[in-house]
Amino acid sequence: PLDEKKVIFLSSLKKIDALEEMVKALRERGLLSRSEGVFEDLKKREELGSTGIGRSIALPHSQGEGIEKPLIALGVSRKGVDYDSGDGLPVHLLFLVLSPMKPAGRHLELLAAAARLAKTLSGRLAPYLESGDPERFFEVLRQEASRF
């Protein structure tokens, strides 16, 4: 489940900085055993093409040996992250998907789940993101995420 421990309120305004901030926070919260390889893999993935999918949403993802168990985390930026998305809009919601190499196919399942969650949450969270009220934001997040 997407609980408060997996939600990171971002201060970074640039894509790579935001990804580094998320990985560092997940490591500090005990959700990742190591961070350097994961961050490097995310940077390499972004070099292939932006994972900004439009409508102020990004789906950065990595699959690697340094990841022990599947994880979906949410980065939230009130100001917006310059993410090089196709529509040119800043990104406010970053759904980070991390998974181990095995089992095969699990990474794609997680990406699909994250995309569905992003689609559902993007419109419903926007007013609470703009208000800056974290309690209300988490209340809506819990209600919507419980459906997945």
Among all residues, which ones are annotated catalytic?
61
What is d(CA 18, CA 111) in angstroms, rounded to the nearest whole number?
Answer: 19
Q: Enumerate residues 6+ apart whose C-beta is below 8 A from 1.
A: 145, 146
User: Helix, strand, or coil here: 72?
Assistant: strand
As given in the structure block, the two tokens for residue 92 are: 């406010």
HEC readout, 73-113: EEEEEEEEEECCCCCCCCEEEEEEEEECCCCCCHHHHHHHH
